Structure 1
């Protein structure tokens, strides 16, 4: 049988740059497999490259003498949601699994039409033997689905189908009943942990909003002096850049760990405007954990900018700047590229970059090196080189510390977005372009490896609480810009007009 390739092989890496595609992703240069009768599946150089959706679904479902390759399972479950909703796929898997147990393996013969043919019914003893061969394989498929894509099962329709199928599998044998129980318990445990995480995010967000409201409620007639008096920055809590970088890494790895691989694909799914079933794609949280992670990046960027702009004294602002530069450098050394980029982004915001008198007091050589590493030119060539180095270090690491790879997340999403948009999901023949999905799965699989790393650093609750809940000026940029002007006055008429407008709107409560 033609084999599904491991992710290390397959199509070319996408990491060399957005817009560099494997030309085969666009073309159906495939030929039908001749050594198996897989109707609707097409191979090129022993590599599955396209197929009809129905054939790909059949290829997913185990039979008495067949179990799909794990890379295929991951790739299809990840990408199929571009064509079929997970609960619809689950219903189809349940149907085929039941028919395979009852009727043997007709789809291995490439004839789905004969699945319902009563002439294929065998004797009860043969059916029982076949069922016992297939049952553990179906359970294994369901286990892989629930472990890798547990968020799919927050849908009641998914749980209903899963329950029906597992009850049927567990009805005839004590061993299967035990396995079904373990599967269900593991899934419920993962969903419970997810629910607790989401509740914690809501509480953290509420605490941050409350602290910001408290800061803004202070009298404004003293301008930045008032804000500074009520604002405690990170430097006053911890002056060790390495310790702060460790705590940032704690937050990054925790939030990464809750992002489901399917969220990368579901972020691209567009609801059909002709679809009146409002409970289908519009009801589930398509990419809520992915969105929460992006929100974290934005929060960190604005926190850096806020803590630089608020202090009244130029010397203090310069110290905060140098401190965050050192934190960013430690993040780079750890392999935490997301926090690194968030800090650089915060320091490059206009309210910070305009503080020329403050920048004059800062030794910027280290910052210049970091900016060079994250330079966006040539499609972030320098960063991608550093990322490859960190990835290689991770592969040969002997300690958790060396395994840490936290990518610049916005760029990862951008890469996947361009892969999805730049390569057709269906070929002109109407077949699913599976080569595209091998590449998509390859990149998401690498992310899955990164997110499983356990953070080796000790937690510091005080630092974590500050990072997650400290007041941050971010909603519309007005408060941040005003703090910047209060710290270093306007330099030209345009800035003076802007300053007056900001003070006026702030005093009037606009």
Structure 2
């Protein structure tokens, strides 16, 4: 039976193939101009959008008129996920040249040649203007030189040659004046012979001035960020040894975020002070965070909140008890903007509501969304066709980044050099160093076991729950020390990941450490219940997208949706826990999951049969997944979706991933 045409203005009709291209077909009902005696009010038109195709057909569609108006932008935004700039440029120019070579003197062919030239001109203009970083290839910029040479020989395109030459001069000038284009404003390096005012002069800085300086630094770096480097297929490869310089613009932005977090922690722990003084510093940072919110700087806002919610600061009961009620109320309101681990895009709505104002987003939101898209959707479909629908969804997120980059140009902020110098004056602290200093400031009620090793995720979370509630429920879910983009690492001093210092799992209503100075019963109704110590902590919120309804069913961590979910897998090793996120479907068997996890961890020259997959359960227990099991159904859904790969007995020491960077 045929499909029934409904009265909806837009109706998905299905897919159809045509000469190596898979199209998604949509029927649209549009009003027609009324004529005398006509009773027709609407007509239905058929709209085709590219869903998948071979590379050759995608390139040919770039030069064909009448293609989907968004096709070229989506292609140029994401093509480096499946080809290179050099290969694409060669294919485009070869196709344009072959069209000219086949042209003869009849009018039809001349018209076709003109249309092709017009389309090629528009394509190259957009490429050179909006995606100029594709041609940056120091020191010779061979692709840009090749394009300039071609443009010089074509009279109809010679006007673009001036654009290419200007771009070449710009690249050369930027490389000659600064070797490292992407500086790290708050590098965490301690400034030698620093003679500015002391640590507590932070209290004398106006909160607005501090927020403005943070926003200026954040905006400068965010504008330089290359959106393509945020794609999951690029960002997930940064930890390989040969990719240590990959995504430099994103690394710089992330280093700034981590440095702000470190600065907040350092101001509270570096020097001895009584609780009321430390409380005044917390209140000051809360006011700075409030000003960042007013400036729509979600990056520094989240960095400050993350530092104040870290284990090393969160546990200071005496300090929090001295913080004013007004500041605590503001702190909770600001914290509600970032409710869960999965980094919902809903916070972007706040930024996009006023397009005329400057705005700096929390970049981790987009990195998480793009990483999940990359994990959830295949690169190819139907026998090797490039999944262009995946690239459309990725482009939706990249378009938001570009829109926000444009909004950053709206900022008119004053420069505060004394604050900038003060921000640079703090040496980076590792998470262990921060926690040790925190224990010196306020020693724990009961001493923890003496150990020189790094606290693992589960043990540290349990100790914090025990400290805050007086109970250590064996059924409670523990949170990782570092909430990063798709994984967790044991070292808080890494500068290449957006790391949120370890903190107890935050519920809708946070635990109030300032209420703990009297009795632990004051917090039993907030997030951790002392009457039910074994009840699990709240689940993180699922990923939500504010711009695309088509993205609402994507898999998320810790929740099974539509026969799929995101799980995190680590490899047993001596260098701490390192989690990688992978997509798990209802069809995945144990060996295939092990193989994909080893690939994600860049573990080479091993067999998946040599490993055993186990799910990490509360109380230090593990659930061993049988080799022939369906992992989706064999796993325990009431526990965190965290797994670990271990070598089977009788095999050698577990391999160490070849990654050069920790997640």
Q: TM-score, normalised by structure 2?
A: 0.56
Q: Work out whether 1:53 is the aligned partner of 2:62.
A: no
Gaps of 5+ in 2: 1-8, 27-46, 456-663
Partner of residue 445, structure 1: 399
User: 1: CA distance between counterparts of 2:453 and 2:112?
Assistant: 81
Q: Work out whether 1:242 is the aligned partner of 2:242.
A: no
Partner of residue 146, structure 2: 164
Q: Work out whether 1:182 is the aligned partner of 2:137.
A: no
Asked whether the 8 Å contact 1:67–1:137 carries over to 2, the reply is: no
Distance change in 2, residues 1:498/1:359 (3 Å): farther
SS, match of residue 50 in structure 2 = strand
| 1:14-50 residue CA offsets vs partner (Å, 9 max, x unmatched) | xxxxxxxxxx9xxx941136xxxx6535232122222
Partner of residue 359, structure 1: 320
SS, match of residue 396 in structure 2 = helix
Which one of 414, 417, 421 corresponds to residue 375 of structure 2?
A: 421
User: 2: CA distance between counterparts of 1:486 and 1:156?
Assistant: 50
SS, match of residue 380 in structure 2 = coil
Distance change in 2, residues 1:81/1:178 (3 Å): closer
| 1:282-332 residue CA offsets vs partner (Å, 9 max, x unmatched) | 579431111111111111111111111123222321111111011111212
| 1:39-88 residue CA offsets vs partner (Å, 9 max, x unmatched) | 5352321222222222111112x36xx37666322211222222212222
Which one of 462, 469, 473 corresponds to residue 428 of structure 2?
A: 473
SS, match of residue 493 in structure 1 = coil
Structure 1 residue 98: Cα displacement: 1.8
Q: Work out whether 1:334 is the aligned partner of 2:295.
A: yes
Partner of residue 372, structure 1: 336
Distance change in 2, residues 1:92/1:420 (3 Å): same
Structure 1 residue 349: Cα displacement: 1.6
Distance change in 2, residues 1:321/1:237 (3 Å): closer
Distance change in 2, residues 1:350/1:145 (3 Å): same
Alignment of 1:92-131 (within 5 A): 92-104=91-103, 122-123=104-105
| 1:130-178 residue CA offsets vs partner (Å, 9 max, x unmatched) | 76665464343223223322222223699434433432332353x7444
SS, match of residue 413 in structure 2 = coil
User: 1: CA distance between counterparts of 2:230 and 2:454?
Assistant: 41
Partner of residue 259, structure 1: 225
Distance change in 2, residues 1:132/1:431 (3 Å): closer
| 1:360-405 residue CA offsets vs partner (Å, 9 max, x unmatched) | 111222212212222217x556xx44431331222xx3xxxxx223
User: 2: CA distance between counterparts of 1:197 and 1:345?
Assistant: 33
Partner of residue 124, structure 2: 142
User: 1: CA distance between counterparts of 2:66 and 2:123?
Assistant: 9
Q: Work out whether 1:297 is the aligned partner of 2:257.
A: yes
Aligned length in residues: 418
Structure 1 residue 354: Cα displacement: 2.0
Which one of 43, 58, 65 corresponds to residue 24 of structure 2?
A: 43
Asked whether the 8 Å contact 2:235–2:247 carries over to 1, the reply is: no
**Superposition RMSD in Å:** 3.9
Partner of residue 108, structure 1: none
Q: Work out whether 1:462 is the aligned partner of 2:421.
A: no
Asked whether the 8 Å contact 1:150–1:187 carries over to 2, the reply is: no
Distance change in 2, residues 1:193/1:235 (3 Å): farther
Distance change in 2, residues 1:103/1:268 (3 Å): farther
Structure with greater contact order relative to length (CA < 8 Å, sep ≥ 6): 1
Structure 1 residue 335: Cα displacement: 1.6
User: 2: CA distance between counterparts of 1:470 and 1:133?
Assistant: 60
Q: Work out whether 1:199 is the aligned partner of 2:176.
A: no
Partner of residue 523, structure 2: none
Gaps of 5+ in 1: 1-8, 12-23, 105-121, 216-228, 398-402, 503-510
Partner of residue 21, structure 1: none
User: 2: CA distance between counterparts of 1:501 and 1:426?
Assistant: 42
